[in-house]
Amino acid sequence: MDNYHVPVLLEQSIGGLSINPNGIYVDCTFGGGGHSKAILNKLDKGKLIAFDQDTDAIANKPKSKNLILVQGNFRFMRNYLRYNNINKVDGILADLGVSSHHFDTEERGFSFRFSAGLDMRMNQSAELTAQKVLNEYKTEELKSIFKNYGELKNAGRIAGFIDKYRKQQKIETIDQFKELLEPILPPHAQSKILAKVFQALRIEVNQEMESLKEMLLQTEKVLKQGGRLVIITYHSLEDRLAKNYIKNGMFEGMPEKDLYGNVDVPFKQVNRKVIVPDNAEIERNSRARSAKLRIAERL
């Protein structure tokens, strides 16, 4: 379990939940079970409902009478809670992004360091793969993915190179993909560009932005008054959604004010300033470098 994924900002995130030993908590992203284990250690008669759509993660389940581990996407959180006769919870934790296990397992196709097939599915029973996106999406759709999810200025050129290559042969492997991108990968920025391209593909394959939005909208319905929402993000797209939702109760725009200038929002920010890992944690775990922690309380 410990090698599967090192939990990021563990002490700060568990502290942010302000755990009641007899309360009910949700871990949206079980993974290696690091955050879940820390929550369980603080529970007496309380319950933890943890979610993960990956069968590899489910294999990390610890023995605990306080734990219900659900193999499913956290976008269906409210349905699964209702199935277990739970209407309200005391806290929700979501450590977003990709686990170390996914990046380090070659055949899963998440990392450009390897020569595997283009997969990138967190749920291995899902139909959509990175290979399918690259070979079957229209050029304009590809451009949109790389522009919106990778924030790449040359998204159109990337989509064009993909379209040209796939007309000659099917794109099946990471090596093929890197080969077709070579003309637009300057040596000094190769890794940085590839990271953004792979991020964009992964987000599309796993419908990450849609899932995050659906989950966030459910938090205000399932959290008790005074309940805590703890979110760890790893890139600007998901952090922007979390930040806007916590602050304004919506993903874009500003909430309407009443006659007295007050706004009706579901949460108050517990930490006005975003929490980031210190140098010691980054040294221990380089993947913590981009992590940002936000804590909110249900009003």
Name the strand (E) or helix (H) holding 229: strand 223-233
**Global pTM?**
0.91
Asked whether the beta carbons of 88 and 222 are under 8 A apart, the reply is: yes
Calculate the average pLDDT of the chain: 92
User: What is the per-residue pLDDT for 99?
Assistant: 66
At residue 2, does pLDDT exceed 50?
no
* Alpha carbon distance 49, 32 (integer Å): 15
pLDDT at 4: 61
Query: Residue 92: which pLDDT band, with cuts at 50, 70 and 90?
Result: very high
Which residue is listed with tokens 């007496």? 44
| DSSP per-residue string spanning 103-171 | HH-GGG---TTS--BS---SSTT-S--HHHHHHHS-HHHHHHHHHHTS--TTHHHHHHHHHHHHTTS--
User: Looking only at Cα atoms, what is the longest distance across the chain?
Assistant: 64
Q: Mean pLDDT throughout 24-47?
A: 96
**H or E segment at 282?**
helix 279-284
pLDDT at residue 1 is higher than 60 = no
pLDDT in tens, 116-174: 899 999 988 899 999 999 999 999 999 999 999 999 999 999 999 999 999 999 999 99
Using CA atoms, how far residue 295 sits from 22, 226, 232, in Å, is 21, 12, 9
User: All domains of the chain, ordered by start, with CATH?
Assistant: 10-100+208-298 (3.40.50.150), 127-205 (1.10.150.170)
Cβ contacts of 60 within 8 Å, gap of 6 or more: 1, 4, 30, 31, 32, 33
Enter the DSSP assignment of 291: -
Q: Left, alpha or beta for 9 (phi > 0: left; psi -120 to 50: alpha)? A: left
- Average of pLDDT values for 173-182? 94
Query: What is the arithmetic mean of pLDDT over 16-31?
Result: 97
Residue 134, both tokens: 């690259």
**Mean pLDDT (whole number) for 258-282:** 90
Class of residue 298 by CB neighbours under 10 A (exposed 0-12, middle 13-18, buried 19+): buried
- For residue 104, name the pLDDT band (cuts at 50, 70, 90): low
What's the pLDDT score for residue 74?
96
The percent of residues in the chain predicted with pLDDT above 90, rounded, is 77
Q: Is the pLDDT of residue 217 over 70?
A: yes
pLDDT for res 167: 97
Cα dihedral 217, 221, 225, 227 sign: negative
Section 79-91 average pLDDT:
96
pLDDT category at 286 given cuts 50, 70, 90 is confident
Considering just the CA atoms, what is the radius of gyration of the chain in Å?
20
Q: Which range has highest mean pLDDT (54-68, 79-93, 259-273)?
A: 79-93
Residue 293 scores a pLDDT above 80: yes
Provide the residue count of the chain. 299
Query: Could you give the CA distance from residue 99 to residue 95 in angstroms, rounded to a whole number?
Result: 9
pLDDT in tens, 38-63: 999 999 999 999 999 988 888 888 89
